[in-house]
Amino acid sequence: MDPSLWLALLGAQTLISFVPGAGAVNTMSNALTVGFRRTVWGVLGQQAALLVHIAIAAAGVGILVSNSPLAFDLIRYAGAAYLVYLGIRKFLQRPEHSDIRALQTDESALSMVRRGIWVNLLNPKAIVFFLALIPQFISPDRPLLAQYGVLTATVIGIDFLVMWFFYGGTARSFRRFTQHDRGQVILNRIFGSLFVGVGALLALA
């Protein structure tokens, strides 16, 4: 990949990773309920979904979806509906009547990976980025495999670091609230509302 293109990709991906979205909300929610270390499973699930987006763009399907309002709307509304569903479930979640160690082992790694995959797989922000912008960072006259390799490593590396260390780390400061029922209810409603809000905004965008 051309150095100038790589720098442009680096800046664009850093920006889009730091902009709060469904992945950030999911990561912070996980950090509060299972702890910082185990949050990595949800982040890995989100990165697996990003790999799917990259593969779609590489196969040229991105051009079809970008030029088809119906296909894009179907993906966008499906993603928005899923986020609203997650938000309602989180909002209505009852507090855990156990100590903090029990809270940290409540959800399995597989469950977090699976949810992380769906959150990013149906995330319109990621779909727009990967299906519309990534082709701009690829030079057709150069070996495609090597370019996509660099692109994939850059995108996944930046998003992984931002999600786990920034958003996951930030959420740790709120850990003390999860030790009490009232605190858990407040946080569940906050993150539930965020999920619903993100889903609604994406549906109306």
pLDDT digits (tens, 9 = 90+) for 13-30: 787 777 667 888 889 888
pTM of the full structure: 0.69
**Which residue in this structure is represented by tokens 């920034």?**
166
| pLDDT at residue 103, rounded to an integer | 42
Cβ pair 61, 168 in contact under 8 A = no
Three-state secondary structure call for residue 138: coil
Better pLDDT: 133 or 117: 117
Q: What is the pLDDT of residue 17?
A: 79
The C-alpha atoms of residue 71 and residue 185 are separated, in whole angstroms, by 38
